[in-house]
């Protein structure tokens, strides 16, 4: 009987119960134990983690693989004691994908249809109509064209927008211009009225949305950050908004989560704060992907979505 340790100290008891129910419904012979009451640790085969305490995985001598509860794995890789030999599997889940596509479409359309202008007009009881640009006249740039960024790029392009994307390797996605490298990044930023960040957090991408990046974006552009908070240099964003260079930002992810109550983002008139809720990993769908990989491992087949430690995602 395989044993899985659920190591997610920031996840509450109700959500933990949903995970246990979903995992055991998909694999009835799986025993799920919740850290820290998961002894004996010598009998644990797999760990499902979200922000595990650093070093904790050293306590499990016979672990075969670690699963991340999220698509982003910087919360696992930041553990200096993470055993090097263990495969790390990231979350690829259809509900995460559909949730992210919905959220990105929602905010792209919000900005495309000038909703911040109408909201400001309403506060002043102003009745003024504005022509809407055609989607073909609106350029959307998506940073990261992986599972989530790729799906969002396709969905935005399907509505007729002029879409470009940035990735490490060149992509062939119908209706989406592919940009790579630093030159490609700046070409994309310079042409994009709306920039969506769906990159993983790695040493190469940390702090990349800074004053230089914002300065390259056209005046009046918008930012939607659904990647990680540490992609954005907070003070530079505030400066770009206050100077009027950027028109607004939707932020779903932050350097510190929960966002501290004193943070300037909460009350900034051009910022929409979402509590890391653009797309959540739903236990009932995500458990199927974890179990599928456990089965693969038990049958000696290669697991899917294994992280390339060298690239950090």
Q: Among 3-11, 56-64, 164-172, 265-273, which window interacts with ligand NDP (CB under 6 A)?
A: 164-172
- Per CB under 6 A, the list member of 146, 229, 248, 283 interacting with ligand NDP is 146
Q: Does 144 bind ligand OXD (CB under 6 A)?
A: no
Residues 233-292 that bind ligand NDP (CB under 6 A): 252-253, 276, 278-279
Q: In the structure encoding, which two tokens stand for residue 219, read together?
A: 């005046």
Q: Does 68 bind ligand NDP (CB under 6 A)?
A: no
- The answer to whether residues 49 and 8 touch, using CB atoms and an 8 Å cutoff, is yes
Q: Does 168 bind ligand NDP (CB under 6 A)?
A: yes
Q: Does 148 bind ligand NDP (CB under 6 A)?
A: yes
Q: In the structure encoding, which two tokens stand for residue 84, read together?
A: 């090097």
Task: Give me the least distance between CB of 134 and ligand OXD, in Å please.
Answer: 33
Residue 3 backbone phi and psi in degrees, to 5: -120, 135
Q: Among 57-65, 133-141, 226-234, 237-245, which window interacts with ligand NDP (CB under 6 A)?
A: 226-234
Concatenating the DSSP letter of every residue in 107-172 gives HHHHHHTTHHHHHHHHHTT-----PPPPGGG-EEEEE--SHHHHHHHHHHHHTT-EEEEE-SS---
Interhelix angle 147-158/94-112, rounded to 10 degrees, is 40
- Per CB under 6 A, the list member of 71, 153, 223, 286 interacting with ligand NDP is 71
Q: Is 193 labeled as catalytic in the residue annotation?
A: no
Q: If DSSP codes are grouped into helix, strand and coil, which group holds residue 66?
A: strand
Task: Give me the least distance between CB of 256 and ligand OXD, in Å please.
Answer: 14
What is the number of other CB atoms lying within 10 angstroms of the CB of residue 60?
Answer: 23
DSSP at 250 = E
- The answer to whether residues 6 and 16 touch, using CB atoms and an 8 Å cutoff, is yes
Q: Examine residue 258 and say whether the peptide bond preceding it is cis (omega within 30 degrees of 0).
A: yes
DSSP at 101 = H
- Minimum CB distance to ligand OXD smaller for 8 or for 246: 8
Catalytic residue among 75, 245, 276, 295: 276
Query: 288 exposed, middle or buried (CB, 10 Å; 0-12, 13-18, 19+)?
Result: middle
Q: Which residues pair with 176 in a beta bridge?
A: 163, 173
Site string for ligand OXD, 265-294 (x = CB under 6 A): ----------------x-------------
Counting residues that bind ligand OXD (by CB under 6 A) gives 6
Q: What is the distance between the alpha carbons of residues 218 and 262, in angstroms, rounded to a whole number?
A: 30
* CA 177 distance to own-chain centroid: 21
Task: Give me the least distance between CB of 15 and ligand OXD, in Å please.
Answer: 13
Q: Does 227 bind ligand OXD (CB under 6 A)?
A: no
- Minimum CB distance to ligand NDP smaller for 91 or for 240: 91
Task: Give me the least distance between CB of 24 and ligand OXD, in Å please.
Answer: 22
Partner in contact with 2, chosen from ligand OXD, ligand NDP, none, beta carbon below 5 to 8 Å by kind: none
- The answer to whether residues 193 and 140 touch, using CB atoms and an 8 Å cutoff, is yes
* CA 191 distance to own-chain centroid: 23
Task: Give me the least distance between CB of 71 and ligand OXD, in Å please.
Answer: 4
Residues 53-112 that bind ligand OXD (CB under 6 A): 70-72, 91, 96
Q: Is 276 labeled as catalytic in the residue annotation?
A: yes
Catalytic residue among 228, 230, 231, 297: 228
Give the residue at shortest CB distance from ligand NDP.
146
Residue 247 backbone phi and psi in degrees, to 5: -90, -25
Binding site for ligand NDP (CB under 6 A): 70-72, 96, 144-149, 166-169, 198-202, 204-205, 226-228, 252-253, 276, 278-279, 313
- Annotated active-site positions, please? 228, 276
């Amino acid at each position: 009987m395989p044993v899985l340790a659920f190591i997610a100290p920031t996840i509450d008891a109700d959500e933990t119960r949903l995970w246990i129910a979903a995992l055991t419904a998909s694999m009835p012979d799986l025993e799920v134990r919740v850290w820290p009451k998961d002894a004996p640790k010598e009998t644990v085969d797999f760990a499902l983690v979200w922000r595990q305490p650093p070093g904790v995985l050293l306590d499990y001598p016979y672990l075969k693989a670690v699963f991340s509860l999220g698509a982003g794995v910087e919360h696992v890789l930041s553990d200096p004691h993470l055993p090097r030999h263990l495969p790390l599997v990231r979350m690829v889940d259809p509900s995460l994908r559909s949730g992210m596509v919905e959220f990105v479409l929602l905010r792209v359309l919000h900005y495309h249809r000038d909703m911040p202008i109408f909201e400001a007009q309403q506060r002043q009881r102003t009745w003024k109509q504005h022509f809407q640009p055609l989607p073909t006249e609106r350029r959307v740039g998506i940073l990261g064209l992986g599972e989530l960024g790729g799906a969002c790029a396709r969905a935005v392009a399907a509505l007729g927008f002029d879409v470009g994307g940035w990735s490490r390797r060149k992509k062939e996605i119908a209706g989406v211009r592919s940009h790579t490298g630093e030159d490609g990044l700046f070409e994309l930023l310079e042409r994009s009225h709306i920039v969506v960040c769906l990159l993983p957090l790695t040493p190469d991408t940390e702090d990349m949305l800074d004053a230089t990046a914002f300065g390259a974006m056209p005046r009046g552009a918008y930012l939607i950050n659904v990647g990680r908070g540490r992609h954005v240099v907070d003070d530079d964003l505030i400066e770009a908004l206050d100077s009027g260079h950027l028109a607004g930002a939707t932020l779903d992810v932050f350097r510190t989560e929960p966002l501290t109550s004193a943070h300037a983002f909460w009350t900034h008139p051009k910022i929409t704060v979402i509590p890391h809720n653009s797309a959540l990993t739903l236990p009932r769908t995500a458990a199927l992907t974890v179990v599928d990989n456990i089965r693969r491992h038990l049958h000696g087949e290669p697991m899917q979505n294994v992280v390339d430690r060298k690239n950090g995602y």
